[in-house]
Chains A and B, each alone.
Chain A
Amino acid sequence: MNAPGPFALYDCSLARYASGRYCSNLRELLEAVRVVPDMVLEHHMMRCALDDHFELYEFPNDLARWCWDALGDHVLAESLGLLDPYRLASSADLRTALVKVIEERLWGMERVPWCRPGLELHLIGSRLMAYDTGERLPTLAALVEGMPRIPLRSFYYHVHEARRRRGNLFDDFSAWLEERDADPAMVVKLRAIDFYFLNLNQLRLEFIQIFRQYLPDAEVKKVAP
């Protein structure tokens, strides 16, 4: 059996495009969630992580944020904020879950909430272009040492996108470490990171903290919070 190769570091970039559809109220959001292409829902529920590096946002997805900020519907925002698309098996399941949450909220309402003009939710889709940076991290120590300078977009590709690629099971980093017979407890801990709840900067810090915990001698440079 061949020894596992070095970790191949990828970067990625999003091409975003307008769907031409926008919502001004909750009923329009429900209608849109029912019919827009999968990649529009995936963009607003998952890929929007690439837009938030500075803890600007309270919620991990665009829909929760819009309901909170623009519609002022805090109850629905809280429900949508808790909806974790990575725990759902498919885009169809994500759509069903979103429809259910919004429909239930609308059911008991006497007045449909509207946003102010200018704060409409413009629905966009995206395609992700990933590319090999050519950078190879041959050992665990090299991976740990490289963590602080790995771009946040790479974290998205190797954690969020990897989950989708690997059937929501695990990320590329822990998969590679497992192949190299790393401490199983560390692998478990990495896989247990609540990555959807964190922004990409926080996610990187979480990885570094776990490495520090399990590899106290490794050289992990400090990352500015």
Chain B
Amino acid sequence: MSLLDRYEEVVGHFEVQRLRQLAERLQGKRIVHVNSTRVGGGVAEILRWMVPLMEELGLRPRWEVITGPPDFYRVTKAFHNGLQGFAVTLKTRDFDLHNEINRENAKKLNLEADIVIIHDPQPIYLPSFTPAGKVGSWIWRCHVDASRPNFAVWRYLEKAIPSFQATIFSMPAFTRSLPCPMFMIPPAIDPLSDKNCQIPEPERIETLIKLGVDPERPLLLQVSRFDRFKDPLGVIAAYHLVKRYHPELQLVLAGGTADDDPEGTEVYNEVMEEAGEDRDLKILLLPPDAHRTINILQRSAIIVLQKSLREGFGLTVTEALWKGRPVIGGACGGITLQVHDYQTGFLVYSPEGAAYRIRYLLRYADKRQRMGRTGHDFVREHFLLIRNLRDYLTMLLCLQHPEGDVVVV
């Protein structure tokens, strides 16, 4: 069974057939993806399914990885944070190092292709050092919110932009004004991955018991890093407000801290302190590969929270909706694209708002179930990888046919 055949079981035969038909218009196109790691991180996760699926659709994709000394990754990590508006300190020699590593990699990597898609800022200067004619079109895919970047970082990165024929962002709010088309391609989840696949019931129960969660009682869940912008303390406050009406309620805050986030440990300690001795409130520090555990928690929750104060796209919301759980989310970032009041959950603006909506959803089981079904359908239509692939193919066709508002290809 081919990879695409497996997705047919999720999105249906006709949807996959239409994707194949769209891809027929791009047969044999040589596409090179370039990023900075083959393992770990969201981009590598995307490329791991995108490259084989593009191949199965008749394109000729390849995946190249830019490499450099440890110092290079320190600099690119600072770029990554700076692009998202965090304060970073970089010296002239850091920018020089980035430039030099891009120059070296442009010589080493096999970039000959019709289209090269550069993921994030690490390889952004490759076009500057690649001989003219080797690459048909360059596209920069920015996976983060670049709407309010650090000034020095942006001043350096934006000089690379004129080499690109187009850019791709996850949502319009993440863009800046750029001199080339800025395509919108929201991220997507893989319904067959460990994070999202069906879980056998015995495994679910066993895992919950291991984690100290009672499978028989209602569970509230937030999955996120221990980060102030995810407002874990606000979630605990909402839980306390509801607990007096629903003493059977449990709350799990599950997440990790990133190595590059010194504040994470501080927030985690604050959360632990706030949680106190409540046996129904579990704080789980999970390793980055605990995909199945997160899947199980999401499937076991009666309501999923994502009470962020600032958010990127919010793929944890997508994952929860896919599992048929209504989501109560902070009204920010990509959460507003996914959570629609009374349809897939509720947008809230305070711990009190979250508490009120939790009480509402606990009270009305029928509405909760209907929202869960709508959320699942909504994600199937908009945020699964088949749609993501369709968006990529459409963008490539758009570049191939630059004129016309409606194009028959």
- A residues with a Cβ closer than 8 A to B are 10-11, 13-20, 22, 39, 42, 51, 53-57, 116, 118-120, 122-124, 127-134, 149, 151, 161, 164-165
Contacts and interface: CB of A to CB of B under 8 A. Distances in A.
Closest 5 CB pairs of A and B: A122-B172, A20-B177, A15-B398, A18-B172, A13-B394
Given A13-B22, A129-B407, 11 more contacts: A16-B183, A20-B175, A53-B378, A53-B381, A54-B378, A56-B374, A124-B172, A129-B401, A130-B406, A133-B18, A165-B406
20 contacts: A14-B394, A17-B183, A17-B184, A18-B172, A18-B182, A20-B176, A56-B340, A57-B340, A118-B333, A118-B336, A119-B331, A119-B336, A122-B171, A122-B172, A127-B406, A128-B405, A129-B22, A130-B409, A151-B14, A165-B406
B408 A130 contact: yes
Given A56-B374, A151-B15, A18 B343 contact: no
Contacts of B173: 22, 120, 122
Contacts of B340: 56-57
Most buried by A among B15, B25, B336, B407: B407
Contact of B407 (A53, A130, A134, A151): A130
Interface in B317-373: 331-333, 336, 340, 343-344, 349
Nearest to A15: B398
A81 B182 CA distance: 28
Contacts of A11: 18, 21-22
A18 to B, nearest CB: 4
A131 B333 contact: no
Interface string B145-183: 000000000000000000000000101110111100111
A53 to B, nearest CB: 5
B406 A20 contact: no
A33 B46 CA distance: 37
B51 interface: no
Contacts of B394: 13-15, 129
B409 A129 contact: yes
A1 to B, nearest CB: 26
Contact-residue bracket for chain B:
35 or more
A131 B398 contact: no
Contact of A127 (B18, B21, B25, B398): B398
B397 interface: yes
Contacts of A119: 331, 336
Contacts of A161: 406
Contacts of A118: 331-333, 336
B392 to A, nearest CB: 10
A224 B408 CA distance: 30
Nearest to B342: A56
A133 B21 contact: yes
A120 B395 CA distance: 25
B66 to A, nearest CB: 26
Contacts of A20: 175-178, 182
Contacts of B343: 54-56
Contacts of A19: 172
Contacts of A128: 405-407
Nearest to B341: A69
Nearest to A53: B381
B377 interface: yes
A175 B184 CA distance: 34
Contacts of A116: 331, 349
Nearest to B404: A127
Contacts of A10: 408
B25 A131 contact: yes
A54 B21 CA distance: 26
Contacts of A57: 340
